[in-house]
A and B are shown apart, each in its own frame.
Chain A
Amino acid sequence: MTPKLNASNAVAALLCAALVLLPVYSAVTGNIFILTLFTRIAIYALAAASLNLIMGYGGMMSFGHAAYLGIGGYAVGILAAEGIGSGFIQWPVALAVSALFALLIGALSLRTRGVYFIMITLAFAQMAYYVASALSRYGGDDGLTVYKRSDFAGLINLSDRTQFYYLCLGCLFGGLYLIWRIVNSRFGLVVQGVRSNEQRMQAIGFHANRYRLVCFVIAGTICGLAGALLANNTDFVSPAVMYWTRSGDLMVMVILGGMGSLFGPVVGAIVYLLLEELLSQFTEYSGLILGPVLLLIVLFARGGIMGLLGRMSRG
């Protein structure tokens, strides 16, 4: 499995190089804004990549993926509010709670298929949203301010802009590597087989739903990590992170970049968030342009941006 040199791989390689070198550019030009923007992008790219694992490879169209962003974020925020500032406790808790939530809703949701699956995952995410809104001890509707970022005992300082950026980028690359390993493992091949033909996989003796569920839990856990990063990035977590439009944003990033391609969600997150940022700089009404652009991409660029690149390189 040696990577071939084609347009998609070239773009992915250039992208990684650019992301790694970004803080240098930021330091030379003194442009701090771009670093904070790309920190946010890296976090959303990680969340989108985890959604891609179940959507693109597993065929599970979850419309409630933003719930884990909130759960990971609230785990950090609530522990910080209760005086437990150590990241060595906060982050494992964030991952564990996300995994548990994914296990619970996955076990129930995977009884349904297709549009019903889309809707039941949405329903669970909305429930999480309302639970968070009701946590009056932790800010309720207004959200919870995280006064101190996770403390890693001097190992890494999350309040340092550059260090935090590299942490987010490291998590993104680590997540992508994990997903790549999963997708190409025996386990991943079974999951993809179940996506293409569930009955056949069942007939040759695979417990389709068990494989699906494990995949669902892994994706939720990775997204929980993104949530912990996000809470540290904004120093704030609120129920709005879990609202269904946020799950929609994540879905848009995945489809825009190219579902079922490893780097697709990263490209999607970069393009979507950059577009949103650029448009908002010269117009208050970014949706007037962003909306039709999404429509045009669906109509004319099937398979997202990575799909487009793939077709270009095949000629």
Chain B
Amino acid sequence: MYLVVEQLLNGLQFGLLLFLLAAGLTLVFGIMDFVNLAHGSLYMMGAYFAATFVAWTGSFVLGALLALGATLLLGIVLEYVALRHLYGRDHLDQVLATFGLILFFNDAVRLIWGPAGLALPLPAWLTVPVQIIPGVYYPAYRLMIILVALAVAAMLYLVVMRTRVGMLIRAGASNREMIGALGINIKLLFTLVFGLGAALAGLAGLMQAPILTVQIGMGENILILAFVIIVIGGIGSIRGAFMAAVFVGIIDTMGRAFLPDLLRKVLSGAAASTAAPALSSMLIYLLMAIILVLRPEGLFPAAKR
């Protein structure tokens, strides 16, 4: 029972992390109609920046904040120099260009930080287990990820639904030309949204960094998961991305934790040990395929434009 609670929390934590990544992706996708494969590179850069700045400053929080600022800046520069010229182009052109950026970032990281991965050690106050319900302990750091991600999600909701900028973002998502014609500086808005997405990706990367090693290519696997989420949730819908992210996080974690035992009850030992890892890795993709076959526009399609 405790194991189930723990794995549920792990799933929630993973899902919320995926949400941070997917939120930026779905905003950029929904508003600028831009497929950004390099989003995973921003996630990786966030992690590398954090590992570097934490080592420099000696403080986890300060280093994390610096890394967040650096990723935001990187996103804005990237948008300003290259990507803004690709809005309105064919999706395939965008795929090709941002695929090129992945190659660039991977080798740039290898040049600067070397091919070996980095570790980002946690400060002592984040390594203690916390008692969440009597008898169940959970690592403080993972708990912090859940809280930070929830806070960011709430803030994102407030910004998008309750502020003027958010209103413009929503208007931009439903009709780009029209808000441009109404005299809104649409270029600035796009740069802002892209920067926001980059910062969210960076935040996800730097929070994930202490759990996994910081390494080249870390963004590629998780990028595909983020795409799966925005497709399941419906492109351009932040609410959909949130639901899908938590759903995917929990299914993936629970699948990996409990599927092997379940299979062993049905199949023979050898067959189960072959099938279980494949099936639990495939679970998410299987889910997406089923959802797309049944609902070709995702679960929560954003309003038609």
Contacts and interface: CB of A to CB of B under 8 A. Distances in A.
A38 B153 CA distance: 51
Nearest to A105: B289
B296 A255 contact: no
Contact of B107 (A118, A137, A288, A294): A288
A286 B220 contact: no
A111 B292 CA distance: 8
Contact of B231 (A61, A115, A137, A251): A115
Contacts of A287: 103-104, 106-108
Interface residues of A, number: 49
A299 B91 CA distance: 13
Contacts of A126: 224, 282, 285
Nearest to B288: A123
A287 B104 CA distance: 5
A176 interface: no
Interface string B263-301: 000000000001101100110011011001100111000
A302 B227 CA distance: 26
A288 B289 contact: no
A256 B96 contact: yes
B182 interface: no
A123 B228 contact: yes
Interface string A247-258: 010011001100
Contact of A133 (B97, B228, B281): B281
Nearest to A134: B278
Contacts of B298: 116
A55 B275 CA distance: 33
Contact of A292 (B104, B228, B297): B104
Given A255-B93, A287-B106, A293 B292 contact: no
A285 B111 contact: yes
Nearest to B275: A134
A127 B285 contact: yes
A116 B292 contact: yes
Given A116-B297, A130-B282, A256-B96, A295 B292 contact: no
Contacts of A286: 103, 107
A305 to B, nearest CB: 13
Interface in A278-305: 284-288, 290-295, 297-299, 302
B207 interface: no
A242 to B, nearest CB: 13
A195 to B, nearest CB: 13
Contacts of B106: 287
A63 B96 CA distance: 12
B164 interface: no
A108 interface: yes
How many chain B residues sit at the interface, stated as a range, is 35 or more
Contacts of B286: 127
Contacts of B82: 295, 299
A108 B92 contact: no
B275 A298 contact: no
Interface string B228-251: 100100010000000000000000
Contacts of A122: 224, 227
Interface in B194-252: 220, 224, 227-228, 231, 235
Contacts of A248: 37, 95, 99
Contacts of B110: 284-285
Contacts of A112: 292-293, 296
A120 interface: yes
A245 B274 CA distance: 25
A124 interface: yes
Given A134-B274, A294-B96, A299-B97, 16 more contacts: A109-B292, A118-B91, A119-B288, A120-B288, A122-B224, A122-B227, A127-B286, A133-B277, A137-B274, A245-B102, A255-B95, A256-B96, A287-B106, A291-B105, A292-B104, A299-B86
9 A-B pairs closest in CB distance:
A291-B104, A294-B100, A134-B278, A287-B107, A287-B103, A291-B103, A123-B285, A130-B281, A285-B107
24 contacts: A111-B292, A111-B296, A112-B293, A112-B296, A114-B91, A119-B288, A123-B228, A123-B289, A123-B292, A124-B285, A127-B285, A127-B289, A130-B278, A131-B278, A134-B275, A135-B274, A137-B274, A255-B92, A259-B92, A285-B110, A287-B107, A291-B107, A293-B100, A298-B97
Interface of A: 55, 61, 63, 108-109, 111-116, 118-120, 122-124, 126-127, 130-131, 133-137, 244-245, 248, 251-252, 255-256, 259, 284-288, 290-295, 297-299, 302
